[in-house]
Structure 1
Amino acid sequence: MRAADRLGLPRLLHPVAWWAWGLGLATAASRTTNPVLLLLVLAVATWCVLERRESGRPGTFAMFLWIGLFAIVLRVVMAALLGGGVTGRVVLFRLPEIPLPAWTSGVRVGGAVTAEGLYAAACEGLRLAAILVCLGAANSLASPRRLLRYLPATLYDVGTAVVVGLTFAPQLAHEAARVRAARRLRGHSGRGLRELARLLVPVLENAFERSMELAASMESRGYGRAVRRSTGSRRTASTLALVGLLGVVAGLYGLLDASTPELLGLPLLLAGALVATAALWAGARRDRRSGYRRDPWGLPEWGVLACGVAPAVVLVVASGRAWPGIVPVQVPLTFPAVPVVAVVGIAAAALAATVSPVPPRRAELRAATSGATPTAVSP
């Protein structure tokens, strides 16, 4: 057992563990429309971000919260205007209705707006918001740039391009803000399309200079090395990767949609993942790449992984067996039943904030506040 695992010393958790936790929680959210369970998912994701987000990183979690709120509002507004959802009994108000042809049955423009229809739309929007927030939590807890370090050698070129994009997109926005502030100091208003056009030249010039510096730095470290592979091996690896990715996409769709056959869900997802892994492994054997020192994988990573798998397994089983309260009845409008086992499964994901180590920067802030001296362990 590593010293960091035994003593609970501050360090960064392996990014794969956080993303597996976020995907597991998102899978649990996708299997239910119970607002109580979905709100619990949101609370668990928010709690873990507040407890284990690395201090000093840009706060992107709030953006996902706003996007989720926008998804709920948009879904409710579209249900009120176009219908197409649950036909309720309690009419709240009526909108001017536009007659539509007979072949558009189930779709309307205007008409009666019912409480049951708005409630069903709000639940659907809340489910989408919960999925987005879970992914946003994983993004806030583990930087995507750290995750890209673990891409197989076959995806080396794609990973390099994504890393460059993730590095320079925030810098481009920062450069635009800096140039705009400088122009304001010179007496310019900083508003309007004409002022925006004047920002493009200095911002793009600085971005081009940074790109040239990064290209020279990467070339000096061997990033431009060519790899020689035969045509047959390249085609075989590409075919396996394409088939595997198609299987993964179809399996994810079957896993997220409870109305699809069971064979289209988890079995197809596992088969596609195995084929894609075989393709990546075959390509990595012929494409050797050096890498930086890897993050450790110890007991905290296994604990966070288990905390993410638990709600996914419970909710997938619950939706497959149609437990009461997983997909609550919306007509008539009543308070939904809350399965205790599902609540316990989702609440177990909150233990990730306990079993995971404290990030070093957050530990330094806590130590500075309390007057203690933190001891950090490098990965």
Structure 2
Amino acid sequence: MSPVGRTAAALRRYRHPRQLHPGAWWLWAIGMAVACTSTTNPVLLALMVALVSLVVVVRRPDAPWAMSFGMYLWLGLFILIVRTGFRIVFSGDGPTVLFTIPFPQPPDWIADQGGRLFGPVSAEALLSGLYDGVRLAAMVICVGAANSLANAKRMLAAVPPAFYELGTVIVVAVSVFPQLAESVRRVTRARQLRADGSSRRHWLRQVMMPVFVDALDRSILLAASMDSRGYGRRTVQSVAFRRVTSGLLVLAVLLLCVAAYALFDPASFGGLGRQLLVGALAAAAAAMFLAGRRSQHTRYRPDRWHLAETLVAACGVATAAGFRQLVVSEPETLYPSIFPLEWPVVTVPALLLCLVGALPVLLAPPVAGVSQPQGRVAVADRPAALSLRLTGTP
């Protein structure tokens, strides 16, 4: 095959519709969240939220757990309102007073501690709360983007055996919100099909209670599925093997503590801090390898890491590293002045870094549908399907 033909074939394989490795999306989202922590510029934060939303809209799969991004946007708006409200209530002092909220004088024991409620609200305090709220909301939205783009359950196939139990706990924790969003959509759709015309004051009883019951039922089904698959099973190993594994873990922790002290005070250990750190990492790697042999579980077609995954993860890492560099070179751009008040500005390097974070729209392959024909069950849903068969649920 000619070089042109090989290039065309490689491009077709690259653009073949498939689901991207969940680790790539999480690395990209974490990089974007780190970039959000590096600035309080509302213009840059709003631009990053808009670009993250664009990536989610274009690249999220057609799956129930991927429909939770809208709830993260509402959660970010709620965080912004609450954070700004706290600044108005508890700390509104500043030279530029916008308005005054009358409130009775607080007791002496509160005033002695420097506390106060309401009173004059300044533009400086209002903008300070707004900047902090936008930054925190942007971080939450980045995490929501990862939850909407990547199936958290597929992350278990990529977790090392030594961290399988810890990975399961983390996966269950990060998938709670998407499951609640899916339950809310399902219950709301059922009410619409029944043409329920009741008032909104019964929304808690008619929507939230079915959602909680549905979450409890799914937890019970998941527990039955995990029990049927022998979750938590350990291989029989000798006492000497367990002692060696525990000894290596203890040695790694001790070497890590000594290496940290040696790095902060190089003269005390003769400059051996890096060597001790390498030894600690080697002991930790050996201990994790031996501990992973105790966990025996099967993995069905774990996701592979290809070029597209590397490019998507690199976009997030490059954005985070670039913003960290701008903190040193352009601090006035990333942290607009409040005392005195100044308009936020956006420079070309900061704008380009935000656009780098949005490159997964072009670099990620097309999304493969997760819906399956009748009579077949998706791989990610097989534990739930098995639990349904075990419990006799139709």
Shared fold per TM-score greater than 0.5: yes
Letter in 2 for 1:300: A
Amino acid at match of 2:157: R
2:167 is aligned with 1:156: no
Please list every run of 5 or more consecutive structure 1 residues that lacks an aligned counterpart in the other structure.
247-269, 365-379
Mapped partners of 1:169, 1:38: distance in 2: 28
Please state if 1:96 is matched with 2:102.
yes
Aligned partner of 2:348 in structure 1 is: 340
1:262-313 superposed Cα distances (whole Å, 9 cap, x missing partner): xxxxxxxx99999876653442245454322121211111110111011101
- 2:183–2:211 contact (8 Å) kept in structure 1: no
Q: What residue identity is the alignment partner of 2:20? A: L
Tell me which structure has the larger Cα radius of gyration: 2
Residue 26 in structure 1 maps to residue 23 in structure 2: no
The worse-fitting range, judged by mean Cα deviation, of 63-72 and 221-230 is 221-230
Which range moved further: 94-103 or 332-341? 94-103
AA partner of residue 80 (structure 1): I
**Other-structure match for 2:43:** 36
Paired residue for 1:127? 135
In the alignment, is the contact (CA less than 8 A) between 1:241 and 1:280 conserved in 2? no
Per the alignment, residue 325 of structure 2 pairs with: 317
Over aligned residues, Cα RMSD in angstroms? 4.5
Of residues 284-293 and 165-174 in structure 1, the stretch that sits farther from structure 2 once superposed is 165-174
- Superimposed CA distance per residue, residues 172-199 of structure 1 (whole angstroms, 9 cap, x where no aligned partner): 9479949x96xx89xx999599999997
User: Quick check: 1:154–1:287 contact (8 Å CA) kept in 2?
Assistant: yes
Query: Structure 1 pair 51/116, CA: closer, same or farther in 2 (3 Å)?
Result: same
Q: Is the 8 A contact 2:187 2:211 kept in 1?
A: no
Amino acid at match of 1:44: L
Structure 2 CA distance for aligned equivalents of residues 273 and 67 of structure 1:
39
One-letter code aligned to 2:127? Y
Q: Aligned pairs, how many?
A: 333
Residues 79 and 121, structure 1, Cα contact 8 Å, conserved in 2: yes
The match for 1:263 is none
Match of 1:328 in 2: 336
* Aligned residue among 107, 113, 121 for 1:113: 121
Residue in structure 2 matched with residue 210 of structure 1 by the alignment: 221
CA displacement 1:292-347 (0-9 Å, x = unmatched) = 21212111111101110111011111224453211110123221222321221121
Spell out the pairing of 1:215-226 with structure 2 (5 A cutoff): 215=226, 219=228, 221-223=229-231, 225-226=233-234
Which residue, 305, 308, 318 being the options, matches 1:300? Answer: 308
| Per-residue deviation, residues 84-134 of structure 1 (Å, max 9, x unmatched) | x7x4322111123534556533x4212210112101110110000010011
Give % identity: 33
Asked if 2 retains the 8 angstrom alpha-carbon contact of 1:51 and 1:353, the reply is yes
Q: Which aligned pairs between 1:1-379 and structure 2 lie closer than 5 A? A: 3=10, 6-58=13-65, 59-83=67-91, 87-97=93-103, 98-99=105-106, 101=109, 104-105=113-114, 107-160=115-168, 166=175, 173=183, 177=187, 191=202, 210=221, 214-215=225-226, 219=228, 221-223=229-231, 225-229=233-237, 230=239, 231-233=242-244, 235-236=246-247, 280-321=288-329, 323-361=331-369
Q: Which runs of 5+ in 2 are unaligned?
A: 1-6, 258-277, 373-394
Alignment check: 8 A CA contact 1:308 1:349 kept = yes
Separation in 1, partners of 2:211, 2:36: 42
SS of 2:121 mapped into structure 1: strand
Q: What SS does the corresponding residue of 2:333 show, helix, strand or coil?
A: coil
**CA drift at 1:150:** 1.5
- Taking a change above 3 Å as real, the CA distance of residues 203 and 43 of structure 1, as seen in their structure-2 partners, is closer
Q: Contact 2:42–2:134 (CA<8 Å) still a contact in 1?
A: yes
Q: 1:302 to 1:176 in 2, by over 3 A?
A: closer
Change in Cα spacing, 1:238 to 1:116, as seen in structure 2 (3 Å) is same
Q: Which amino acid aligns with 1:361?
A: G
